[in-house]
Amino acid sequence: QVQLQESGPGLVKPSGTLSLTCAVSGDSISSNNWWSWVRQPPGKGLEWIGEIYHSGSTNYNPSLKSRVTISVDKSKNQFSLNLSSVTAADTAVYYCVKGFDLWGRGTLVTVSS
Amino acid sequence: SYELTQPPSVSVSPGQTARITCSGDALPKKYAYWYQQKSGQAPVLVIYEDSKRPSGIPERFSGSSSGTMATLTISGAQVEDEADYYCYSTDSGSDQSVFGTGTKVTVL
């Protein structure tokens, strides 16, 4: 059974960097899938952040591209999200996703001093 | 940037048919995907590649796409289908993916 588990700080200071990791179990990060990050501010809709293939190829949301880095660690079978220069507007539940059909449970990240 | 537009809300009585539309310029060339999100839960894929249903999704969920509009249909909606629904697709001129604005479906 494939599972995704997000982890990282639940509180980040303004202007800081948000860093999350998605641990993959039951499947290889090198399988034929794109691995994505999606976020959802409280009470709002879903926003696609970006995706990575195991080769390292990435695609990012143009509105976040200047602040986002998604990377993959094959040795740990996980992928990560870094979002720099955060503000309160980056407060959201962050989900990691395998392909189109498997989502992690999500983790709430609050940006506040 | 690319946008997918959905109606904010749809309301039906139990047993009736709910239709949710998703409008986007690239939909003639790109597949649409549909997600159901219940309160406090992660989204669940209910339709992929315009009209295919993942295993475990009830047959009352169906999808179609024509021109610049994709449609999710819930035939004989049940109270448990109350949720937010999002379409998802990709811009034809880039590798930018996007979610629709979301539709709240009420069954009462």
Pick the residue from chain A with its C-alpha nearest to B53.
Answer: A101
Supply angle C-alpha B3, B31, A57, rounded to 5.
80
Minimal-distance CA residue of chain B relative to A40: B42
Q: Which of B48, B54, B96 is opposite residue A62, by nearest beta carbon?
A: B96
Classify burial at A87, counting beta carbons within 10 Å of its beta carbon; exposed 0-12, middle 13-18, buried 19 or more: exposed
* Contacts with A103 from chain B: Cβ below 8 Å: 42-44
By C-alpha distance, which of B37, B40, B108 is closest to B79?
Answer: B108
Which tens digits make up the pLDDT trace of B5-51?
A: 999 999 999 999 999 999 999 999 999 999 999 999 999 999 999 99
* Cβ contact, residue pair A45, B102, below 8 Å: yes
A103 reaches B (C-beta below 8 A): yes
On chain B, the residues whose CB falls within 8 A of the CB of A101 are 45, 48, 54
How far does the CA of residue A68 sit from the closest CA of chain B (Å)? 14
Per-residue pLDDT of chain A (113 residues; tens, 9 = 90+): 999 999 999 999 999 999 999 999 999 999 999 999 999 999 999 999 999 998 999 999 999 999 999 999 999 999 999 999 999 999 999 999 999 999 999 999 999 99
Please state the φ and ψ torsions of residue A51, each to the nearest 5 degrees. -150, 160
Tokens 């509009």 — which residue?
Answer: B69
